[in-house]
């Protein structure tokens, strides 16, 4: 053991790992008693706030009414006392800038007094508004340099919580983050706007159906996939450490082809880690529900119960952060990247999405009465119409450099956005289109609004993995979302495109009713039209097949193969009109996001390119050269002993030397490509990254991976796929 000792000792460290005793005891502390203990929840508020204050805040939360400053002061005082009882010394406005992460700046509760001591101070002013220095967060040109400030504004609809650390706790207040000119610099602001937009439009339909609901919100339940590998390997892989994915690594003899990992027994250390992660999440009021192994080795999934999309978005950020934090306690590293290992399944996030009214009715649940079913079909048709009209925007919402490795790679949905309905609903939709609405699959005759829809079977698991957007019984599953992404973006797009479709449908129906027409008859006339208009987007077949790509093209469905092709749709006329009309994004905000997303793409590829060159030059090349001299030396030794060098050995040396030459040449090409001057704007740069850097990186990798198959194991510097994926 010599040159590659780092890798070898990583292996020893892994095999020497042992749990540091029991950390949890659910007999003493049942999970139930932990749920929400660190949340400034409705229960806490009801118990602690004066009644009129509690009522005022409830109104704000339920109906989005502005909060009276006097009320905010009282809430702040009570929240502070509660937090200090929980050991908090600091508070932070917790927000989601466009970096895709969460941000926090901690302030102490303590303020100095004139007498020279300190008192704990935290008023409504501090609760409601913060002023982090915004200059280091991406703004895509919105924020002129002379006005670096932004402000955070309390979002009372997402509960405050306590973040624990071994040495103390912090009160975290979910906030929106805006520029002083009122433009959104974060993900929460447009999300809240989009939920409001949808609520307003959906209520119009509900009203036609005689509902007494007063608001509608979207629900989201994200199924989160992730990898866990031993931290010792992680720290020995500069690519994983800095780019979140491996930039080198030959395919191991055993990959996922045995299919023995999916739903298999969860390894003990991993399960221990999951249990502690879940416990932490319970305390934060995150309703995590399921856990299991995923398809790839070392890949897992965690899924919560669905919640209001705003809270679900915050909770998904907490899930990702908590998983990462707790994994470290078990010597594990969380990998959230969409494609940490080439040739092995990547990770996604199935975002289950639906709409609910404030009376608790799921608007995408087929009902038991003709009346309910007519309403269900209207909302279903609205979603179809929306996805058909704005497929490009659903694509933009999942476009990142990392997700490009998944989409269309025969493991995740293709980049073509289509809707899966399942055989039975498909059948019903076809019947409706023909006007007859006779569900042959079920036998019975069905006229919308007159008889009952047959019960729709819930989608049975994976049979339609290939669809990016699938109806699964009472909700849609948006499967193209990447594992590391915030779910805010996908939700914003869905909410807004559906708001528009619902708006148009409501307008037609309202006009008919105003003209004294029968609502039922009008719905019967409208549904076939809606379906005929958007049925091109419905596809129940195999999304991986070549035939679908051809068919989709014939149907005129957009196919944005990668991020760079997709992002310009964000500032296209359709997008500007849509988001502007519903007040979700101004044109300036869209342009800012366009710039930020492209810059993000460019930076990601640039970091990867630099890492590729670095690993090639400083780790792989030296190892290969050492091995080269070992072989050369052994051949020389033979010659010195008067033995002719065997051909196979000479051939090995030739092959190795050739591959070393290839590695070095391709690395120099990569460096040259990266240093090359690019004329033009951000889009031109992004194209250069895609068309210049990515192929150049792949060429270096090909040589590097070839060397991995040749160079002596004890000289190889990087933990291998085999080690990272199978040593648990």
C-alpha to C-alpha distance for 232 and 545, rounded to whole angstroms = 40
CB closer to ligand ADP, 303 vs 415: 303
Contact of 570 with 396, CB cutoff 8 Å: yes
Beta carbon nearer to ligand ADP, 157 or 566 = 157
Please give the Cα distance from 482 to 403 (Å, whole number): 6
Residue with Cβ nearer ligand ADP (57 or 318)? 318
Draw the binding track, 262-301, toward ligand ADP (x: CB under 6 A; -: no contact). ----------------------------------------
Nearer to ligand ADP, 359 or 521 (CB): 359
- Is 158 a residue that touches ligand ADP (CB under 6 A)? no
Does position 303 interact with ligand ADP (CB under 6 A)? The reply is: yes
User: Cβ of residue 362: shortest distance to ligand ADP, in angstroms?
Assistant: 5
Q: Which does 310 bind (CB under 5 to 8 A by kind): Mg ion, ligand ADP, none?
A: none
**Which stretch of DSSP H or E encloses residue 108?**
strand 106-108
Of 208, 213, 220, 401, the one binding ligand ADP (CB under 6 A) is 220
Verify binding: residue 617, ligand ADP, rule CB under 6 A. no
Nearer to Mg ion, 83 or 288 (CB): 288
Asked if 490 is part of the footprint of ligand ADP (rule: CB under 6 A), the reply reads no
The item of ligand ADP, Mg ion, none sharing an interface with residue 283, based on CB under 5 to 8 Å by kind, is: none
Residue closer to Mg ion, measured from CB, 269 or 350:
350
Compute the distance between CA of residue 223 and CA of residue 305 in angstroms, rounded to an integer.
9
**Applying CB under 6 A, which of residues 353, 376, 585, 594 lies at the interface with ligand ADP?**
353
Report the C-alpha gap between 96 and 709 in whole angstroms: 43
- Contacted by 699, from Mg ion, ligand ADP, none: CB < 5 to 8 Å by type: none
Give the integer Cα–Cα distance in Å for 611 and 262. 32
Region 169-188 residues binding Mg ion, contact defined as CB under 5 A? none
347 near ligand ADP, rule: CB under 6 A: no
641: buried, middle or exposed (CB in 10 Å: 19+, 13-18, 0-12)? exposed
**Nearest distance from C-beta of residue 142 to ligand ADP, angstroms:** 32
CA distances from 356 to 204, 291, 303, 307, 456 (A): 14, 26, 20, 10, 19
Helix (H, G, I), strand (E, B) or coil at 213: coil
Rounded Cα–Cα distance for residues 62 and 215 (Å): 8
Min dist CB 478 to ligand ADP, Å, is 10
Q: Which of 94, 306, 539, 579 binds ligand ADP (CB under 6 A)?
A: 306
Q: Which is nearer to ligand ADP, 305 or 532 (CB)?
A: 305
Q: Pick from 308, 362, 424, 617 the residue near ligand ADP by CB under 6 A.
A: 362
Contact flag: residue 219 with ligand ADP (CB under 6 A): yes
Instruction: Report which residue's Cβ sits closest to ligand ADP.
Output: 221
Residue 479 sits in the site that holds ligand ADP (CB under 6 A): no
For 259-263, the CB contacts below 8 A with 24+ separation are: 259/295, 261/293, 261/294, 261/295, 261/296, 261/297, 261/298, 261/299, 262/293, 262/294, 262/295, 263/292, 263/293
Asked whether 184 and 169 are in contact (CB, 8 A), the reply is: no
CB 494, min distance to ligand ADP, A:
11
The three-class DSSP label of residue 342 is coil
**Contacting residues for 671 by C-beta, under 8 A, at least 6 apart:** 613
Nearest alpha carbon to residue 341 among 727, 722, 728, 13: 722
Judged on CB neighbours under 10 Å (0-12, 13-18, 19+), 50 is exposed
Q: How far is CA 58 from the centre of its chain?
A: 30
If the CB atoms of residues 352 and 616 are measured against ligand ADP, the closer one turns out to be 352
Residue 411 Cβ vs Mg ion, minimum distance, rounded to whole Å = 16
Taking the mean position of all CA atoms in its chain, how far away is CA 567?
17
What's the min distance (Å) between Cβ of 365 and ligand ADP?
A: 7
The one segment of 66-74, 189-197, 351-359, 635-643 that binds ligand ADP by CB under 6 A: 351-359
Interacting residue with ligand ADP among 221, 297, 348, 414 (CB under 6 A): 221
Tell me the closest approach of the beta carbon of residue 545 to Mg ion, in angstroms: 22
| One of 474, 610, 614, 722 touching ligand ADP (CB under 6 A) | 474
Comparison of 220 and 415: residue with beta carbon closer to ligand ADP: 220
Residue 223: CB minimum distance to Mg ion, A: 5
Contact criterion met (CB below 8 Å) for 237 and 615 = no
Q: Does 628 bind ligand ADP (CB under 6 A)?
A: no
Q: How far apart are the first and last CA of the chain?
A: 22
Q: How far is CA 143 from CA 148, 175, 250, in A?
A: 6, 19, 45
Residues binding Mg ion (CB under 5 A): 350
Residues binding ligand ADP (CB under 6 A): 219-221, 223, 303-306, 352-354, 362, 472, 474-475
């Amino acid at each position: 053991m010599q040159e590659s000792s780092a890798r070898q000792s990583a292996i020893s460290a892994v095999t020497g790992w042992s749990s540091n005793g029991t950390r949890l005891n659910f007999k003493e502390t049942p999970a139930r008693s932990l749920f929400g203990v660190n949340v400034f929840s409705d229960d806490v508020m009801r118990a602690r706030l004066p009644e009129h204050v509690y009522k005022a805040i409830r109104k704000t939360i339920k109906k989005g009414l502005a909060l009276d400053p006097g009320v905010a002061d009282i809430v702040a005082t009570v929240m502070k006392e509660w937090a200090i009882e929980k050991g908090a010394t600091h508070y932070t406005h917790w927000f989601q800038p466009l970096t895709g992460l969460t941000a926090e700046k901690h302030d102490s509760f303590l303020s100095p007094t004139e007498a020279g001591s300190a008192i704990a101070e935290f008023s409504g002013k501090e609760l409601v508004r913060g002023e982090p220095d915004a200059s280091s967060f991406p703004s895509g040109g919105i924020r002129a340099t002379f006005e670096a400030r932004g402000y955070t504004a309390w979002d009372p609809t997402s509960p405050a919580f306590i973040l624990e650390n071994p040495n103390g706790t912090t009160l975290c207040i979910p906030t929106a983050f805006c520029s002083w000119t009122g433009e959104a610099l974060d993900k929460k602001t447009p999300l809240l706007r989009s939920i409001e937009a949808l609520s307003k439009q959906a209520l119009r339909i509900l009203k036609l159906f005689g509902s007494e609901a007063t608001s509608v919100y979207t629900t989201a339940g994200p199924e989160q996939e992730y990898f866990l590998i031993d931290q010792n390997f992680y720290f020995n892989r500069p690519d994983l450490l800095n780019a979140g994915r491996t930039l080198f690594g030959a395919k191991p003899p055993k990959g996922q082809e045995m299919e023995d990992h999916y739903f298999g027994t969860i390894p003990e250390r991993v399960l221990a880690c999951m249990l502690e992660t879940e416990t932490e999440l319970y305390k934060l009021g995150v309703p995590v529900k399921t856990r299991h192994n995923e398809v790839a080795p070392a890949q897992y999934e965690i899924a919560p119960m669905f919640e209001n999309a705003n809270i679900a978005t915050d909770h998904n950020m907490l899930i990702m952060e908590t998983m990462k934090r707790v994994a470290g306690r078990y010597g594990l590293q969380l990998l959230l990247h969409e494609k940490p290992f080439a040739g092995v399944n990547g990770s996604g996030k199935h975002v289950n999405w639906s709409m609910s009214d404030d009376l608790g009715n799921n608007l995408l649940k087929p009902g038991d009465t003709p009346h309910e079913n007519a309403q269900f079909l209207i909302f279903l048709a609205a979603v179809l119409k929306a996805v058909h009209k704005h497929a490009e925007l659903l694509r933009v919402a999942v476009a990142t450099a990392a997700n490009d490795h998944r989409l269309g790679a025969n493991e995740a949905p293709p980049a073509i956005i289509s809707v899966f309905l399942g055989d039975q609903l498909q059948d019903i939709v076809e019947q409706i289109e023909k006007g007859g609405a006779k569900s042959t699959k079920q036998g019975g005759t069905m006229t919308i609004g007159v008889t009952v829809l047959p019960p729709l079977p819930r989608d049975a698991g994976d049979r339609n993995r290939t669809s990016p957007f699938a109806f699964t019984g009472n909700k849609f599953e948006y499967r193209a979302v990447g594992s590391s992404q915030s779910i805010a973006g996908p939700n914003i797009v869905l909410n807004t495109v559906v708001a528009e479709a619902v708006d148009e449908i409501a307008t037609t129906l309202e006009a008919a009713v105003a003209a004294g027409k029968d609502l039922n008859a009008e719905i019967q006339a409208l549904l076939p039209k809606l379906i005929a208009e958007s049925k091109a987007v419905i596809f129940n077949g195999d999304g991986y097949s070549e035939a679908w790509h051809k068919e989709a093209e014939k149907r005129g469905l957009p196919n944005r193969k990668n991020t760079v092709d997709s992002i310009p749709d964000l500032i296209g006329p359709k997008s500007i009109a849509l988001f502007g009309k519903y007040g979700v994004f101004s044109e300036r905000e869209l342009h800012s996001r366009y710039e930020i997303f492209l810059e993000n793409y460019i930076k990601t590829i640039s970091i990867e390119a630099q890492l590729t060159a670095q690993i090639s030059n400083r780790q792989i090349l030296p190892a290969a050269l050492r091995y080269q001299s070992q072989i050369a030396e052994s051949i020389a030794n033979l010659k010195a002993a008067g033995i002719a060098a065997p051909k196979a050995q000479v051939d090995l040396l030739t092959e190795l030397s050739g591959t070393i030459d290839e590695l070095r040449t391709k690395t120099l090409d990569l460096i040259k490509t990266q240093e090359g001057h690019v004329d033009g704007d951000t889009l031109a740069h992004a194209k250069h990254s895609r068309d210049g850097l990515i192929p150049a990186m792949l060429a270096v990798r090909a040589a590097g991976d070839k060397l991995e198959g040749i160079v002596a194991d004890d000289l190889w510097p990087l933990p291998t796929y085999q080690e990272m994926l199978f040593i648990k």
